[in-house]
Structure 1
Amino acid sequence: MTKENDALNSFQPVETAGIELDRRSFLTGMGATGLALAGGIKPALAQDMSLLKGSGDVVVCTWGGASTDAMKEVWFKPFSEVSGVNVSTASVPDIAKLEVMENVGNVEWDLLDAEGTQMELAMKKGLLQKIDYDLIFKIVPKQQIDPKVIKEYGVGSVGFSTVIAWNTTLFGKDGPKDWKEWADTTRFKGRRALYAQPRPSFEIALMAAGVPPEKIYPINIDDAFKALDELRPKINLWVEKTSQWGVLMQNGEVDLMGSSLSRTLDEKKRTGKIDFTFNQSIVEQDYWVIPKSAPGGANAQKLIAYALMAKGSLGFATKMPFSLANTSIYGGIPDDMKQQLPGYPENSARNLQIDQAWWVANADQVRLRWLDWMSKG
C-alpha cells in the first residue's frame, strides 16, 4: 500500500476552552509534561536514561514527508541530545533492497519504519534481528504498550487509516455510517472513489457486501473478487496515489471516498466540506524493525525504546493522525484531539486491523488476479 505518511502537510492545531494550542505550545506548555501530570500518563518509575547513552550513528529508513519531519522533531533530534548518537534518515523502506544489502554484506540501514506486510516478509526471509524488550521495558513500562503491536522481530511505530469520507455539501453530517451504506447508490447519490490497490479494496468490498468486519479474515479470494464485481459499477474513480485525495476533495470531483485519514482530516479542517467516520475504518500497522546485520543495531534498539516513551508518543500524536503503540497517551488529551486520533480507544474499537500475515501469504496470487481484474474495468 502506498503510504499516507506524506499526505498531511499541516495537521491543524487543536482548540480547547477557546484557546488555540499549536504544535509547539501543546508540547512545551500543557503538552507532554502537563498532560502527563494531569491526564494520567505515568512515567516509568524504574527509568534509567543512562541505558540510552551511546556513540556513533543510526540510520533510520522512513517514508519521508510530513511524518518523517515529525519523527525528526519529536523523536530523532531529542534522542540524539539524550544519547549522544547521531541520527540520520533515508527512504524508502524496501525489503527487496534490504535483502540485496544483506546478501552482499553492506547493510546501509539500522532501523526501518516498515509496513506490517514488509515486516512479515522480512521475517520469512530471515532479514531481521529480534527486538530487545529487556531494554525497552526498562525505559517504558510494558503495560503502556499495546500488546497487539509487540512482536518478536518488530514493535509498533505508527498505524495509518483508510476511512469512510463524504462531501458535507451533499450529505451534511449524516453521511454513510458503514461501507454497506457507502455503497448504497440510492440513498447516497454521488461520485465514488477508492484507492486502486487490492489492500484495502478487498476489505472494503466485502464489508460493502455485508460481511461483518470480524468475519473478513481469512479472506476468501473468490468471494472478494465477486464483491468487487458488484462494487465496480459504483466506483467513478480509482485513485492511484494517496496524494491525489486532497486535490480531488478540494475540487469537488468526488463525493464519497475511501480515503486516507490524514488527507481527509486536513480537508475537513481546511474547508469543513468533508467529514468522515471512524466506524469500519481500516488500519494498517507499521513496525520498527532492525536489519539482521545493521551496523548500528544497538543504537537502533535504544532509539526504539526512546520513541515508545509516553512523552514523545504524545508529541507525535499532536502532529500526525496516526495510531501510536503507547496507549497511555490517550488518558489526558483534549476532547477535540481525541476525535481525530484513530488510536483513541473509542475510535480504535470500531476499526478493522489489516491482517498482515494473510496478505503476505497470499500476495502473489492476489496481485496477478488484481491486475487482470483492473485491466477489464
Structure 2
Amino acid sequence: MALFQHRSALLIGLLALSLKTAHSQVFVVGEGTATADISTDFSPTHVSLPDTVMTERGRRELVRNLEAEQGFAHRALPVSAAVTLRANGPISPGGADYRKLIYQKGEAAALGDRVIITSLEIKPDRIILDLNGGPYAKHRFLSHVQINDAPVTQTNGQAATGSRITLIFEGHVPEISAPEVKALLEPVIDFGVKTSEQAYADTLPPVLKEAIAAHEVLVGMNHRMVLAALGAPENKVREQPSGDANGARYEEWIYGHVPQTIRFVRFVADRVTVVEIAALGKPVEIHDKDEMGGYNSPDATREVAMGDKAADGTEKTSAPPTLLKPGEAASTGSSNNKVQFPDDNKGGSSRPASSGQPPSNNLALAQRPL
C-alpha cells in the first residue's frame, strides 16, 4: 500500500512538472509585440487653402487628376475606414489607438509600400479616398439571396485589403487643386514619385525639358510630351479638316476656360501642328511653324541607298548577293545564274531552268534568278 502511494505521488509530480514545462514553452504575440515597429509620429502640414467653396468644375478636375494616382505610404495603414485627417491638423486615431486599430483590423500597407487611389468621393466638408481598393469587399446584392440554403450567386471569397482616409476641412471643401490635396496628405502618403510622363520628359533634349517644365507646348511635340507639359486636357474635339485631299483627321485638345487663358492644341497623327493661345484682353497667338528644330518632324527622313558612300561622296557599287563562296566560279551549263534541278523526263539528268518545258508548280519559285 505504501509502495502504491509512493508511485502515485511520483506520477503526480512528473505530470505537474511536464505541465509546467509545457506552459513555459508557449509563445504568445500580444498587441505590444505586434505593433512595436509601427511609427505613430505625426507633423501637421501648413498648406495655404483658398476660402472659396469648391465648384462643380473643380470637383470634376480633382477627381480626374487624383484617381489612379500612385504614391508611397509614409506610415503603416490599417484595413479600416476609421482614419481621419484634418486639413493642416491632427490625424485620428493617434498614438496607441492607431497601433490598436492596425492590430485589430490588419495592415493594408506597410511603411514604404506603394498605394494607389482607387476611388475618390467629395462631400460638403470632406474628401474620402480609398487606397488599394478600400477597406470593404466589393460584392453584388444577389450574394445575400439564398434559395433552399444555396446562394444565388457565388462570391470570389476575397477579403478587402485596402484602406480609407477621410480628409476633413473646416466648414466646407475649398476650391482646392490636386497638388494641394497631395500636400495635405504628405504625412500619410508621399506622392513625390515621378509619373511615366515625367520620366519620359527626362529622356528628352534640354530644350524640350525646359519647355515641359515651364508647361509650354511647342509645335512638333507628340502626345506624351503634351501630357507631360499640361496633363490631360479638359476637352477633346475630333473633326475632319476641310480642303484636305488625303482626308487626314486632326484631334484638338482644349486646356483652360474663360476667364483663364485657353490653349487649343491640334494634333495630326502623333504630332502637334497648330497651337492657339487665347488670353483675356489679348489677340489670339497662333503657332503653326516647327519649334523643335526638326525633332519629331515628319520631314526628318533619311535615305537608305544600296551600298555605302566612299570618302569622296560617291556611292560604292557592290555585286548582287550570291550563294557562291569568294573566288568560286559558277557551275558550267548554268544560264543567268538560274537554279538547276533534275529533268523529270530524263530520269535524273539535269537541264537548265530556261528549257522549253514549263516546270512543276512546286518548283516555280526555284526558277527565279537569284
Q: Normalising TM by the smaller chain, what interval? A: under 0.3
Normalising by structure 1, report the TM-score.
0.22
Normalising by structure 2, report the TM-score.
0.22
Compare relative contact order (CA 8 Å, sep 6+) and give the higher one, 1 or 2: 1
